[in-house]
Amino acid sequence: MIDPDGPVPVYRQVADILAERIAKGDLAAHRPIPSEAALVQEFGVARGTARRAVAELRERGLVYTVPQRGTYVGQPEA
């Protein structure tokens, strides 16, 4: 799933996988994506790497984060 030794950074690999899930609708608008702890579990990465992956998605405008709550698909509610 994740190739730690490939040329693509792990955090981008994780971000790309999540982005695809969003594109496919597996992760629906205004539904939470997996928590950082869950991403650590699922992908076997460090929390810092999971956080960076989520930051990537945020920069791409795919998700928004609510502090102490979670990160959700789409744009923040009005």
Partner DNA sequence: TTACATTTGTTCGTATGTATA
Partner DNA sequence: GTATACATACGAACAAATGTA
Which residues are at the interface with DNA (CB under 7 A)? 4, 9-12, 35-38, 44-49, 51-52, 54, 65-71
**C-alpha to C-alpha distances, 22 to 4, 43, 62, 72, 78, nearest whole angstrom:** 23, 17, 8, 10, 21
Q: Directed axis angle between helix 10-24 and helix 47-59, to 10°?
A: 50
Quote the least distance from Cβ 71 to DNA, whole Å: 5
Quote the least distance from Cβ 20 to DNA, whole Å: 18
Quote the least distance from Cβ 78 to DNA, whole Å: 17
Cβ proximity to DNA: between 23 and 66 the closer is 66
Grouping H, G, I as helix, E, B as strand and the rest as coil, residue 20 is helix
